[in-house]
């Protein structure tokens, strides 16, 4: 989910929560307080979801690296960057 999409969804959700709690309690300040609490819970959940996505990508990349045997490239398998740099220096 992209951040602008999350931001619109979170804003709509908070407006619905604000209206719902105001209709239930009749107090603007109490509904504003509960809406603030709901915003903190939504933001914490979004942060945890992003952390889990990042952790999932790094752990799957680590598993992919462990499954392949370590291979040292031979002299003819190099990409030539070091050779090009050394030829320009000397």
Q: For residues 20 and 50, which has the higher predicted lDDT (pLDDT)?
A: 20
Q: If pLDDT is split at 50, 70 and 90, which confidence band does 72 have?
A: low
Give the other-Cβ count within 10 Å of 42's Cβ. 16
pLDDT at residue 76, as a whole number: 53
Report pTM: 0.57
With b meaning 16 or more CB within 10 Å and e meaning fewer, what string describes 6-31?
eeeebeeeeeebbeebbeeeeeeeeb
Q: Please give the Cα distance from 13 to 11 (Å, whole number).
A: 5
If you average pLDDT over residues 8-25, what whole number do you get? 94
pLDDT tens-digit readout, 29-66: 999 999 999 999 989 998 998 888 888 776 665 565 56
């Amino acid at each position: 989910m992209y951040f602008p999409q999350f931001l619109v969804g979170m804003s709509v959700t908070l407006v619905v929560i604000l209206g719902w709690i105001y209709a239930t309690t009749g107090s603007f300040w109490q509904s504003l307080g509960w809406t603030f609490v709901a915003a903190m819970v939504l933001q914490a959940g979004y942060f945890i979801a992003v952390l889990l996505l990042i952790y999932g990508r790094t752990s799957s990349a680590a598993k992919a690296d462990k499954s392949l045997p370590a291979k040292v490239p031979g002299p003819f398998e190099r990409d030539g960057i070091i050779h090009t740099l050394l030829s320009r220096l000397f």
